[in-house]
Amino acid sequence: MSKDYLLDHYQTQLDDLDQDYKKVKEQKRVEQDGPTQNKLERQIKQIGQQMDEWQQKIDQLQEERQRQSVHIALNTLIDILRTHESQLELIIQAYQQTVSHWSVPVRPDTKTVETIINELERIVQGQSSYTAREEFIAHVVYQTSEPFLSNDLNQWGAQHRAGINWLQLHTQIQGVQNKRLENAQPAILVTIVRSDEASTQAQEGETHYQTNAWLIEDIETYRSQKTGYHSLLASDCPEAAPCLLENLLQKITDLLNHFLVEQRRVCEYCQNYPQVHVFLPLELMHLGVDVWLLNSVTNRRPEYLGHDHVVVIRCANRYDRNYRKGPSWLNLWKRHQNLLEESATDVFVLGHDKDLDELMDILEGAVQPDSKVVGLRVNQAPLNIEELCYELLDSGLPLAIWPRCDNLLTLSPKTELSNLLDACCLNQLPATVQGKRYETRKKKNSPDCHIGHHLSLLWDDPYLVPPKSA
């Protein structure tokens, strides 16, 4: 480190004054003459004031030097990250992973190196033994497969953060995070949306769809801070390429297992199964996403997504910029939050799409200010789920439940739905539906006699949607 001559000069002046201060103070101690003591006292006071002035200069200079040092360090760090721009997706992911648990309102959707570093500098270290910037670098060094990037960051650390070991710091951070995530409620958000470009280019007007997915470490943290999320599909990977629906459904088992493996890797010590939210366009709302297979067809019993996971469908059109009923949706979701302890039966209105005009009247009455309805209940399989969900979207109601079949060998779907809604409060409904689906693991509860194979639950939470950076 180069010598700071100005700071040394200031310190020499202060040291000389300190010696004078001690000398005069000793003289005053042994002096017997009163007037001389007063003179020495004034001299001590004057030297003390001079010492304070030099100390202030030293403090100001040190602060300036510290600012300069930090400025140089940050610029060097930005230059390093810019040099490895090919790793930008990993860098953004490391940033999101870092800010997910710092209770500071930073921007989670940053896409440039400069903004990432600037946002990290806004986070106060507090009681933590490391800064947000240091955590971010530790994540990058741990996750990157680019040796030149990790080498450059190690050299940066040796120069600007002496004694630090990024991999050891990452291990320390993971220990803290694992403990925090033990009781978190993770979620996997899966989107299947129409690819207009691919569909336009396709022959015979075939519709192509594109898949994307994100892991949410903890639903409550994401709702409030929009942090703690990870992309599960790279934009340039083959699985994200547009394809026909039948081709997409053929590979859905492999995709789901990939998502779940990643969730277990990131949230290794989490004690809760992730919820799975599948966002679908109106024309695909008929899909039974809860009965997507997690294992291949063998002699063993089938394992469905809905057996262990709360699985809900979401309408992708809701978070589309063209959705005009956003205010109604938000207001009705707020109503839902005030009714969580109410019986589920009391907050759903009965309707069907046999007569769309009648359905519109029912929904219009349901959303009135004096109503406590937040969802639509359909006792029979809809005739046209796309039309029904269109009217649902137009009303703003965030919840709906319906069967995907009309005939069961045991109880009717109507009776099954009544029993299910009577059995729980609104807050417990997703878990109650999941419990009903779990019962289908047994052979006796086959598709022709058990409602758990045929339940669709729409649960459109406006604060749990794919990241804006998508």
| Whether residue 288 has pLDDT greater than 90 | yes
| Whether residue 204 has pLDDT greater than 80 | no
Mean pLDDT of 177-187: 85
Average pLDDT over the chain reads 90
User: Please, are residues 405 and 421 in contact by the beta-carbon 8 Å criterion?
Assistant: no
- pLDDT tens column, 67-93: 787 788 899 999 999 999 889 999 998
Say whether 305 sits in a helix, a strand or coil. helix
Confidence of residue 203 (pLDDT cuts 50, 70, 90): low
CATH 1.20.58-classified regions of the chain: 5-82
209: Cβ contacts below 8 Å, ≥ 6 apart: 192, 193, 194, 195, 242, 243, 244, 245, 248, 284
Distances 359 to 248, 317, 364, 373 between C-alpha atoms, Å: 33, 20, 8, 14
User: Please, are residues 150 and 170 in contact by the beta-carbon 8 Å criterion?
Assistant: no
* The predicted structure's pLDDT at residue 201: 67
Confidence of residue 199 (pLDDT cuts 50, 70, 90): low
Cα–Cα dist 24/44, whole Å: 7
Distances 24 to 18, 39, 41, 54 between C-alpha atoms, Å: 10, 10, 8, 19
Mean pLDDT of 291-309: 86
Provide the β-strand partners of residue 312. 277
Cα–Cα dist 60/66, whole Å: 10
* The predicted structure's pLDDT at residue 235: 75
Cα–Cα dist 135/172, whole Å: 10
| Whether residue 384 has pLDDT greater than 90 | yes
* The predicted structure's pLDDT at residue 171: 93
**Token digits of residue 298:** 């063998």
* The predicted structure's pLDDT at residue 134: 94
Confidence of residue 30 (pLDDT cuts 50, 70, 90): confident
| Whether residue 277 has pLDDT greater than 60 | yes
Cα–Cα dist 343/429, whole Å: 9
To the nearest whole percent, how much of the chain has pLDDT over 90?
A: 64
Confidence of residue 104 (pLDDT cuts 50, 70, 90): low
Distances 269 to 168, 169, 273, 276, 385 between C-alpha atoms, Å: 19, 19, 11, 18, 39
Cα–Cα dist 296/358, whole Å: 44
* The predicted structure's pLDDT at residue 85: 85
Cα–Cα dist 295/291, whole Å: 11
User: Please, are residues 262 and 230 in contact by the beta-carbon 8 Å criterion?
Assistant: yes
Mean pLDDT of 101-105: 66
User: Please, are residues 456 and 402 in contact by the beta-carbon 8 Å criterion?
Assistant: yes
* The predicted structure's pLDDT at residue 294: 93
Mean pLDDT of 364-381: 96
User: What separation, in Å, do the N-terminal and C-terminal C-alpha atoms of the chain show?
Assistant: 45
| Whether residue 369 has pLDDT greater than 50 | yes
- pLDDT tens column, 6-19: 888 888 888 999 99
Q: How many CB atoms lie within 10 A of CB 393?
A: 21
Confidence of residue 408 (pLDDT cuts 50, 70, 90): confident
User: Please, are residues 340 and 458 in contact by the beta-carbon 8 Å criterion?
Assistant: no
**Is CATH 3.30.530 the classification given to domain 5-82?**
no
DSSP per-residue string spanning 391-438 = HHHHHT--EEEEES-S--SSS-HHHHHHHHHHTSBGGGHHHHHHHHHH
Task: Supply the pTM of this predicted model.
Answer: 0.71
Cα–Cα dist 206/285, whole Å: 18
Q: Which residue has the higher pLDDT, 343 or 64?
A: 343
- pLDDT tens column, 127-152: 788 999 999 999 999 999 999 999 99
Q: Is 226 left (phi over 0), alpha (psi -120 to 50) or beta?
A: left
Confidence of residue 469 (pLDDT cuts 50, 70, 90): very low
| Whether residue 470 has pLDDT greater than 60 | no
| Whether residue 107 has pLDDT greater than 80 | no
